[in-house]
Structure formats: structure tokens, C-alpha cells
Amino acid sequence: MKEGLSFLTCVTPICGFLLIAMACSGFVNGVKPPPLAELARLAGQGRLDGVTIEYWVGGGLPPPYYRSDQFRLLSVESRDTLEFARPYRDPAAKLEGLVEKFRLPAQPPEVRGLAKLILDAGVFERQFPEEKDPGRADALATEVIVTAGGREFKRRYFSGAPKPLEALQAEVERLVQRLTANGTRQVLSQGKPIEETVPLARLAEEVGRRIDRRLSAKGRLVVWLRESEDNPAPEAAREVKRALETKSGLVFSTQRVAGAVPVPSGEPGGHVHMLIYAFDPHPDVVLWVGEVNGRICVTERDAGKDPMAPAASWNWTLYAR
């Protein structure tokens, strides 16, 4: 009897300690501690609903060579969005602290995939040797950050991502490549977009460099090169076309105009003669060359179903000086 009492005396404090620890960790009644519960929800539903996931790599040499590559999965105007931002050096702008930002809509499989990879790696459940700070100012660090319910949960690795995070790192790199190739791009100074300007002699070369990003991701790109109706920059348009003609995988779209069956105009006996605009082949992007406020300008936008429709947004705008 004394032996049994001794066993109970020992077991009771241990059980009490475990219950307290489980309660502090949030495991009581099967409830997972944040952000695990939110990540599990994302992995199942594929919707952010206010949660933000960030994968950041930064450090190294001092500015202007400091690295700061920020990949985020976040809500922008209530829409799940992929975003990648990095420092940008534009000699023509003569500004410091510029940021180049790319955005694309995020799809549910991407939300589910990233959440599952974070869970599978045990980011918020395990400790890794790489989390020990070596105390070096030039250390290149990797951070995984999840923000949920106004709280930020972060893990920082100072000597590269741990091996269990390799699949997560590979998926982030794949998405970053897609963002830089196909995403809507902005250059920001103190959070505000700036106008990008290059010398006129380099305009065609810079346009070609940007098209190369799209080609590297797609392999084949159909471009409708559209000149302003009053054609104020014919030589610039010719230079851009010459620069693009040498690129393997690039195809120029041709616009054809044909008559269509007249339709009633609404007036008695009146008709309107219609025109049909067709493209062969249908373009992926529209490059517009013209003049804006007295400056030669080139813009790129996705063609969509109707390349003739007014542009809702542009992937980029480039001015010549």
C-alpha cells in the first residue's frame, strides 16, 4: 500500500506538469498551437483569409550589394496574391533604395502546396542547428514567417536552409522564376512607383531584355507590336522590331481587318457596317510604341481575349530620354 501511494505521489506532479505544458502549447482538446492550425487550414482549403506567408533571404555584403529577396503569399484587395520584391539598381534613375516588385494572382493549389511544405518540414515544431546565430554581420540568413491573427511567427536560419526545408526552398524558387517572367512589375521608391527611363539608344536593347524574361519562362511568345495611331516614333518602333526579330521562339502576330454583315443602327432602314479584327496567331502580349507627354514610350501588357481592348493595367512602362 505504501509503495502504491509513493507511485501515485510521483505520477501526480508529472501528469500535472504535462497537462500544464499541453495547455500552454495549445494541444488540449486536440487544438494545435498557432500557426500550425492556420497552416493546416490553408493546406486543406487553399485560401489565405488574412494569413500571410513569407520566405526571405537576405544579408551578405553592405549596400548597394546587400541581398534582400522577399517572397510573400498575401491578400491584396481581398485577393490571394503571389509577390516577390528585391533591391533594384537603375543607373538612369540616379536614386537609391529602389525596390523591384512582381505580382501574380495566387491559385488555391499554390496556397495549399506552400502551407503543406512548411508543415512537412516541421518549421514551427523543430529546432535546427542552422538557427544558431554565428555572430557574423555578413551572414546570409533565411527566414520563414507566418502572420496570422495579428501575430507573427518566425524562424531564422543563419547558414542556409536546413535539409528538411529543401523542398520548400525549391518551390519558392520556382514561383519566383514565374513571377519575374510573367508577373506585373513595378519599380518603387519609398513605396511609390517611379518612371523607368533609359537612353534612347538603349531603348530597343532594354525592351529585348524584358522580352527575354518572358521567353525564358514560356519558350514561345507571340507579340503584337502596335504603333501609336499618329506614329510619332517610327524609328523607335523599327529598332524595337529589329531587336526582337533575332530572338528564337518569338513570333509576331499579324492583325487582319475584314468586313462583316451590316447590323441595324436603330434608325428606320439604317445599318452600320461592321469590321472584324482578327489576329494570326493570337498574341500573348501587346507591345505599344508611341509618345506620351512628348516622350517616346514603350508599354507591355497581356493581350487577353481582345488585344484591341483598352488596357486595364500594364506589365511595365519604359520611357526614352
pLDDT single digits (tens) 149-204: 899 999 999 988 999 999 999 999 999 999 988 888 888 888 887 778 889 999 99
Do 295 and 177 lie in one domain? The reply is: no
Interval 55-60 mean pLDDT: 90
pLDDT of residue 189: 84
Same domain for 171 and 246: no
- Residue with the bigger pLDDT between 290 and 11: it is 290
Q: Clarify whether residues 42 and 147 are in a common domain.
A: yes
Rounded to the nearest integer, the mean pLDDT of the chain is 83
Same-domain status, 90 and 170: yes
Which of residues 141, 172, 193 is at a domain's end?
193
Confidence of residue 228 (pLDDT cuts 50, 70, 90): confident
Residue 286 maps to a domain:
yes
What is the tally of structural domains in the chain? 2
* The pLDDT of residue 301 is above 50: yes
**Which pLDDT score is estimated for 191?**
83
Distances (CA, A) of 310 to 79, 191, 224, 267: 23, 27, 15, 29
Is 4 among the domain residues? Answer: no
* Same domain, residue pair 68 and 184: yes
- Dihedral pair phi/psi, residue 9, rounded to 5°: -60, -35
pLDDT above 60 for 15: no
State residue 140's pLDDT score. Answer: 85
269/308 same-domain check: yes
Is there a domain that residue 142 lies in? yes
Once rounded to an integer, what is the mean pLDDT over residues 277-293? 90
Model pTM score: 0.64
- Are 46 and 159 in a shared domain? yes
Are 174 and 51 found together in one domain?
Answer: yes
Q: What is the tens place of the pLDDT at every residue in 61-85?
A: 766 567 899 999 999 989 999 999 9
Which of the residue ranges 168-172, 190-194, 220-224, 303-307 would you say has the lowest mean pLDDT? 190-194
Please tell me whether residues 141 and 244 are part of one structural domain: no
Average pLDDT of 231-247? 88
Write out the E strands in the chain: 52-59, 67-76, 79-88, 98-105, 140-148, 151-157, 184-189, 192-193, 196-198, 221-227, 250-252, 254-259, 263-264, 271-272, 275-280, 285-292, 295-302, 316-320
CATH number of the domain residue 80 falls in? 3.30.1560
Q: Which of 166, 193, 220 corresponds to the end of one domain?
A: 193
For residue range 311-320, what is the model confidence (pLDDT) as tens digits?
A: 777 888 899 9
Q: Is residue 9 in some structural domain?
A: no
CATH code of residue 246: 3.40.50
- Asked whether residue 218 falls in the same domain as residue 260, the answer is yes
Domain of 310, in residue numbers: 196-320
